[in-house]
C-alpha cells in the first residue's frame, strides 16, 4: 500500500445512477486527525464563507418566483448527533453512520444529495470526501445548475482549505 493510502475507501451514495446525473462533483482532503462524518460536517460549517449568506438570499428571492422553496443557507450550528429524518440546515439527513453522512434536498426543480465520508488512513488521520450529485427535473432546474455548477466546486474547495488552515488538514 502506498504511503498514506487509505485502508479502504467507501463508495459514496449518489442521488441517482451516475449516467442520470446532471451534476457530479467529488472532492477530497486529508485530515490530520481521524473524525466522524458529522464531526467533519461541523468542522466545515464552523466558518461560513463571507458572501455565502448573500448568495443564498439571492437564490431564495429568484427561486421563490418559480415556486421553489426557500432554503435559507447555512447557520453554522453544531450538532453532536443526528438521525435519519433530522435536518442539518436545509438538508435532510437520509443516512448516517460514523463514517458517512448522507444529506438531501429535494424540490420541484431538482434533487441534490451531498455525501460526506471519512475514511481512516493507514498512517493516521482520515480522508474526507464530499460528493455532490444532482438530478434536474425541469428547465428551471437545468438553468439553476449553470451558476451553481460553476460555483459549487470553488466553494467546497475553499471550505476544505479552511480545514487545512485550522490545522485539521494534513
**Per-residue pLDDT reduced to its tens digit, 64-87:** 787 778 777 677 788 899 999 999
- Sorting pLDDT into bands at 50, 70 and 90, what band is 162? confident
CATH of the domain spanning 18-165: 3.30.530
Grid cell locating 111: 434533487
With beta carbons less than 8 A apart as the criterion, state whether 23 and 145 touch: yes
With beta carbons less than 8 A apart as the criterion, state whether 161 and 31 touch: no
**Per-residue pLDDT reduced to its tens digit, 32-60:** 889 999 999 988 887 767 777 777 777 76
Grid cell locating 99: 463514517
Q: Is the pLDDT of residue 5 over 70?
A: no
Q: How far is CA 13 from the centre of its chain?
A: 12
Alpha-carbon distances, residue 168 vs 29, 59, 62, 127 (angstroms):
10, 31, 36, 11
Amino acid at each position: 500500500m502506498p504511503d498514506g493510502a487509505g485502508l479502504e475507501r467507501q463508495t459514496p451514495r449518489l442521488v441517482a445512477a451516475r449516467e442520470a446525473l446532471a451534476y457530479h462533483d467529488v472532492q477530497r482532503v486529508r485530515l490530520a486527525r481521524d473524525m466522524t462524518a458529522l464531526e467533519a460536517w461541523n468542522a466545515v460549517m464552523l466558518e461560513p464563507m463571507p458572501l455565502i449568506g448573500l448568495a443564498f438570499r439571492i437564490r431564495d428571492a429568484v427561486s421563490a418566483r418559480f415556486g421553489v422553496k426557500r432554503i435559507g443557507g447555512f447557520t453554522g450550528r453544531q450538532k453532536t448527533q443526528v438521525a435519519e429524518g433530522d435536518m442539518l440546515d436545509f438538508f435532510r439527513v437520509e443516512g448516517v453512520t460514523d463514517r458517512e453522512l448522507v444529506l438531501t434536498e429535494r424540490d420541484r426543480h431538482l434533487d441534490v444529495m451531498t455525501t460526506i465520508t471519512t475514511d481512516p488512513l493507514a498512517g493516521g488521520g482520515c480522508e474526507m470526501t464530499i460528493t455532490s450529485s444532482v438530478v434536474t427535473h425541469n428547465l428551471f432546474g437545468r438553468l439553476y445548475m449553470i451558476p451553481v455548477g460553476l460555483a459549487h466546486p470553488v466553494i467546497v474547495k475553499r471550505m476544505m482549505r479552511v480545514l487545512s488552515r485550522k490545522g485539521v488538514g494534513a
